[in-house]
Amino acid sequence: MVVSEISPSGHLTDDEIHAFVASAAENMDVDKKRVLFVIPDQTRSMPMPQMFRALYDALYARVAKMDYLIALGTHPPMTSDMIETLLGISTEERTGKYAGVGIFNHEWQNPDALTCIGEITADELATISGGLLRETVRVTINKRVLDYDLVCIVGPVFPHEVVGFSGGNKYFYPGVSGAEILNIFHWLGALITNYAINGTKHTPVRAVVDKAAAMIPVDKRCFALTVVGKQTKALFYGTPEEAWSEAADLSTDTHIVYKEKSFKSILAMAAPMYDDLWVAGKCMYKLEPVVADGGELIIYGKHVREVSFTHGERIAQIGYHVRDYFLKQMDMFKDVPGGILAHSTHVRGMGTYENGVETPRVKVTLATAIPEEECRAINLGYRDPDSINPDDWRNREDEGLLLVENAGEILYRLTSYGQDQ
């Protein structure tokens, strides 16, 4: 059963968040047990400081152990300063009041930090994917997860380019998983395409994630949040599947904007929490459906400094291309991890590759701190960010220009979406 608190208008206050967590905690079977909370890093909008304090106040005196594992996926590890900012605590609090709370970064590249808990067979994957993929995949996860009596996900739910809607069991895979299953289902999402998956609740990728999560031999719960900008609209508590499901239903209303027509030029102002293209690519993922054929999507933000802090070298080798560029030349790219291929084609968007000619549907341009030479080398356009005045796009939708501030979490679709599906 899911319990929830939804603000009928506006947002939940800090006191309401605290009260909801306290009420939900009353029915949590945690007395004298070890509890691990799996949480997002700084690239997701949510009231983590409020949740951290509320969970501590409600549970710390009851449990044998309370720890946190940051679901980095393949993102870089967070520093101590970043963790304190994420949780809204000072160094003095972390070493004082909260000294008994362990806080750990996920280590996706460290074999000693991972353990295999099963596999998804080739036949099972073929059935789930509708025949798009047929190979056996080992299911690995951070071994810390198995050291606790209860694992509780705490995170928001948004439309997502790979799985449909983020949150729920996605905090296990790819949040705290090994690379093998991560690469498989990211490539599966790319095969289906961002356009078809983003904002779709039930997807083959979600089915893979849920199947893998069912292998975790630990009791699991979830606080799923609906966060709009910096405001919390709702909180849901239950199993990861049930809490996520209700949050995703609400997110369909709060995080999808419909437009009557497409736009020839979109200026997507990357949210400040995105500091490399690996995450700032969400600007394209969320806006691709409303860019007109032959139009341009500009990812804007001088705070975007790198292509990818983790995967930059591999991306430099392959560049950014439409899906069929890879699909029709897979022998050339068979050694490139599926997650990197997926990111590449998600940023480049829909298009064709025929007779050796790649034809993207839209132009993708970076107006960031990434140098022009590097942008051109990876098959993306470049504009000097200092040459751009966002006001040139403001209030000009009737002219085919769209300005989107803090882009990356709200999905845009045409009102005709689904009519030809």
Per-residue pLDDT tens over the stretch 300-323: 999 999 999 999 999 999 999 999
3 state SS of 415 = coil
Distances in whole angstroms, Cα of residue 404 to Cα of each of 284, 393, 410, 412: 11, 9, 9, 10
| pTM for the predicted model, two decimal places | 0.94
**Tens of pLDDT, residues 164-211:** 999 999 999 999 999 999 999 999 999 999 999 999 999 999 999 999
In the predicted model, what is the mean pLDDT of residues 139-147?
A: 98
- Mean pLDDT of the 337-343 span: 96
pLDDT for res 229: 84
pLDDT computed for residue 43 by the predictor:
83
Interatomic CA distance for residues 187 and 137, integer angstroms? 13
Using the predicted structure, report yes or no on whether residue 278 has a pLDDT greater than 70.
Answer: yes
DSSP string, 250-313: HHHHHSEEEESS-EEEEEEEE-TT--BHHHHTHHHHHHGGGEEEEEEEEEEETT--BS-TTTHH
Can you tell me the distance from the alpha carbon of 336 to that of 179, in angstroms, rounded to the nearest whole number? 12
| 270: phi then psi, degrees, rounded to nearest 5 | -60, 135
Kindly state the percentage of the chain with pLDDT values over 70.
99
Of 177, 181, 182, 175, the C-alpha closest to 154 is 175
Confidence at residue 418, expressed as pLDDT on a 0 to 100 scale: 61
Strand partners, 105: 70
**Rounded Cα–Cα distance for residues 316 and 314 (Å):** 5
Question: What b/e string do you get for 361-397 counting C-beta neighbours within 10 Å, with b at 16 or more?
Answer: bbebbbbbebeeeebeebbbbbbebeebeeeebeeee
Q: Are 269 and 406 in contact (CB under 8 A)?
A: yes
User: What was the pLDDT predicted at 9?
Assistant: 77
259-414: CATH topology is 2-enoyl-CoA Hydratase; Chain A, domain 1 (3.90.226)
> Residue 215: what are its φ and ψ, rounded to 5°?
-80, -15
pLDDT mean over 107-118: 96
If you write DSSP's letter for every residue of 305-337 in order, what string do you get? -BS-TTTHHHHHHH----HHHHHTTHHHHTTS-
The answer on pLDDT for 419 being more than 60 is: no
Structural domain spans, the chain: 3-254, 259-414
How much of the chain exceeds pLDDT 90, in percent?
94
- Whether the CA torsion 222, 141, 204, 330 is positive or negative: it is positive
Pairing of strands 219-228, 231-238: antiparallel
- Which pairing describes strands 231-238 and 3-6: parallel, antiparallel, or unpaired? antiparallel
Give the CATH number of domain 3-254; options: 3.40.50.11440, 1.25.50.10, 3.40.190.10, 3.90.105.10.
3.40.50.11440
Query: In the predicted model, what is the mean pLDDT of residues 132-138?
Result: 96
pLDDT at 42: 87
Task: Tell me the residue length of the chain.
Answer: 421
Q: What is the mean pLDDT of the chain?
A: 96
Angle at the Cα of 247 from the Cα atoms of 195 and 124, rounded to 5 degrees: 60
Residue 1's pLDDT band (cuts 50, 70, 90): confident
Alpha-carbon distance of 240 to 231, in angstroms, equals 22
